[in-house]
Structure 1
């Protein structure tokens, strides 16, 4: 019988599309078995999926859980600050320079706010998965990941991304757009509407 080691990641995920066709998923992990770190998943217009990771350890773990066509090791720096009454993320990761303006809490966040304390558990993710699938197309909260791993997402807050600007390899990424088509990094997609999600992720790794 397979036994699993359960790893917990607490942090934030920003998902945004752009009119250039690039889609970005920026993870800022405040607590994890790998320490605090940030990473970026990029889906390019041609469908190529690239991971920007700050270390070999992070690259190995993340690429062992999600699906990528390429992995690039670069310094990943995310500065989150409050300016003019709103939150702004400034992301620097190799060829990517990106700024995101974060707006108000979305209505879909209301049922997420009570998910605190002992409710932050894989069982909760499994129970709400059927509802999450119906409410947000492409989003799942529990499923299988790469290399026999199992994964559970528990969102606890949700805010709109209202604006992006930046460059990839010196070329403008364009204006904000839906995260479409789905990037297909894993079993669950980031919400189609650009958003920042406060999330706890459990990854169960076969021993």
Structure 2
């Protein structure tokens, strides 16, 4: 059996085959339990776009994004309960983010303004590493482990989704 298994080719991903997303994420939570993740992707298979994921205290997740195609892509990584088609704009000036969400139907949401703190020591070290290191799956795996250990259970998706190999 071992001999047969060694002859079955395993799928391998070359860097050129992987979908690349380059951009920024910021997240925050309120004392009443709501969580927000604002994302602005400068480069993706869909071009540049922004989105906002809102998780209510009861766990209900709503994604604000400009198209169903983008919503479907986000659903590959996250459980989403509701999708609201909206124009999401994120402006960044230094450490401040201004997030504006204008749904296709209904009134606009309140504008969110985030002021980011200084990077942690770990973040400062990571930001100095070359992209040839930080854009590898090995680095993503290492970062996942460090997030879980050093940041009390925080986790990421290590660059892959539930439905993609």
Give the gaps of 5 or more residues in structure 1: 150-205
Q: Does 1:145 align with 2:158?
A: no
Could you say which residue in structure 1 is the equivalent of 2:100?
Answer: 92
How far 1:21 moved relative to its partner? 2.7
1:115-151: CA deviations, max 9, x gaps? 323112112212343233211122235376332x3xx
Select the structure that is richer in strand. Answer: 1
Could you say which residue in structure 2 is the equivalent of 1:7?
Answer: 19
Q: Could you say what the CA RMSD is over the residues aligned between the two structures, in angstroms?
A: 2.2
Q: Does 1:116 align with 2:124?
A: no
Give the gaps of 5 or more residues in structure 2: 1-9, 104-108
Q: How many residue pairs align between the two structures?
A: 145
Select the structure that is richer in helix. Answer: 2
Q: How far apart in 1 are the matches of 2:136 and 2:128?
A: 13
Q: How far apart in 2 are the matches of 1:41 and 1:61?
A: 13
Q: Which residue, out of 14, 31, 36, partners 2:43?
A: 31
User: Relative contact order (C-alpha < 8 Å, sep 6+): which is higher?
Assistant: 1
How far 1:20 moved relative to its partner? 3.9
Larger radius of gyration, structure 1 or 2?
A: 2
Contact kept, 8 Å, 1:27 with 1:39, in 2: the verdict is yes
Could you say which residue in structure 1 is the equivalent of 2:115?
Answer: 101
Compute the TM-score of the two structures, normalised by the length of structure 2.
0.76
Compute the TM-score of the two structures, normalised by the length of structure 1.
0.62
